Chain A
Amino acid sequence: MSILVFIEQRDGQLRPVSREAIGEAVRLAAALGGPVVGVCCAAADPGLAALGEAGADQVLFAQHEAFGTYDGAGYAAAVAEAVQRVAPSAVLFSASAMGKDLAPRVAARLGVGLASDCTMVVAEGDRLVATRPVFAGKAFQKVAFPLRPALLSLRPKVFAAAAVQVGRSALVEPIAFAWDASAPRAKVTGMTGAQGGRPDLTESEIVVSGGRGLKGPEHFALVEQLADALGATVGASRAVVDAGWRPHGEQVGQTGQVVSPKLYIAVGISGAIQHLAGMSSSRCIVAINKDPDAPIFKVADYGIVGDLFEILPALTAAVKQLH
Chain B
Amino acid sequence: MLQVVCIKQVADTETRVKVAADGRTLDPAGVTWILNPYDEFAVEAALRLKEGLATGEVVVVSLGAAGVQTTLRNALAMGADRALHLRNDTPSPDALAVARCLADAIRPLSPGLVWFGKSAVDDDGAQVGAMVAELLGLPCVTVVAKFEHRGATAIVEREIEGGREVIEVALPAVLTTDKGLNEPRYASLKGIMGAKKKSIEERAVELGAPNLEVVSMQLPAPRAAGRIIGEGAAAVPELVRVLREEAKVI
Contact = CB atoms under 8 A, between A and B. Distances in A.
Interface stretch (A43-51, A168-176, A193-201): A193-201
A189 B166 contact: yes
B220 A97 contact: no
Interface in B32-88: 37-38
Contact of A301 (B37, B166, B226): B226
Interface in B108-122: 121-122
Given A73-B140, A300-B226, A304-B231, 7 more contacts: A103-B127, A105-B134, A139-B218, A187-B167, A304-B235, A305-B230, A313-B233
Contacts of A138: 15-17, 219-220
Interface centre among A113, A298, A306 (most CB of B within 10 A): A113
Contact of B240 (A139, A188, A318): A318
Interface of A: 69-70, 72-73, 76, 96-98, 100-101, 103-105, 107-109, 111-117, 129, 132-147, 184-195, 200, 202-203, 206, 230, 247-249, 251, 254-256, 258, 262-263, 273-274, 280-281, 283-286, 292, 297-307, 310-311, 313-315, 318-319, 322
A200 B26 CA distance: 32
Contacts of B126: 100, 104, 116-117
A105 B38 CA distance: 20
A108 B99 contact: yes
Contacts of B179: 248, 251, 255-256
A169 B238 CA distance: 46
B222 to A, nearest CB: 9
Contacts of A254: 13, 121
Interface centre among A281, A284, A302, A314 (most CB of B within 10 A): A302
Interface centre among A76, A188, A307 (most CB of B within 10 A): A188
21 contacts: A105-B131, A107-B95, A107-B96, A108-B131, A114-B212, A133-B124, A135-B26, A139-B218, A140-B218, A140-B219, A141-B214, A141-B216, A144-B215, A146-B212, A190-B166, A193-B163, A255-B13, A301-B227, A304-B228, A304-B229, A315-B236
Given A134-B122, A145-B212, A186 B173 contact: yes
Contacts of A145: 212-213
A189 B133 CA distance: 21
B91 interface: no
A142 B240 contact: no
Given A286-B243, A304-B231, A142 B215 contact: yes
Size class of the contact patch on chain B: 35 or more
Nearest to B156: A186
A183 to B, nearest CB: 9
A97 B247 contact: no
B142 A101 contact: yes
Contacts of A105: 130-131, 133-134, 140
Contacts of B163: 191-195
Contacts of B230: 304-305
B170 interface: yes
9 closest Cβ pairs, A-B complex: A113-B212, A113-B211, A184-B170, A200-B161, A306-B232, A108-B134, A97-B160, A194-B163, A248-B180
B160 to A, nearest CB: 4
A129 B215 contact: yes
A274 B226 contact: no
A319 B250 contact: yes
Given A97-B159, A143-B214, A114 B127 contact: yes
A193 B158 CA distance: 11
B164 interface: yes
A112 B96 contact: yes
Contact of B178 (A113, A147, A195, A248): A248
Given A185-B139, A304-B232, A76 B134 contact: yes
Contacts of A190: 165-166
Contact of A206 (B13, B95, B249): B249
Nearest to B94: A113
Interface centre among A254, A256, A307 (most CB of B within 10 A): A254
Given A192-B166, A285-B226, A97 B217 contact: no
A304 B217 contact: no
A280 B223 contact: yes
A186 B168 contact: yes
Contacts of B159: 97, 249
A314 B233 contact: yes
Contact of B170 (A139, A186, A189, A230): A186
A304 B239 contact: yes
A304 B236 contact: yes
A70 B163 CA distance: 14
Contacts of A305: 228, 230-232
B135 interface: yes
Contacts of B143: 97, 100-101
Nearest to A232: B250
A100 B118 CA distance: 10
A216 B152 CA distance: 43
Contacts of B209: 146
A117 B121 CA distance: 13
Contact of A136 (B24, B121, B157, B161): B121
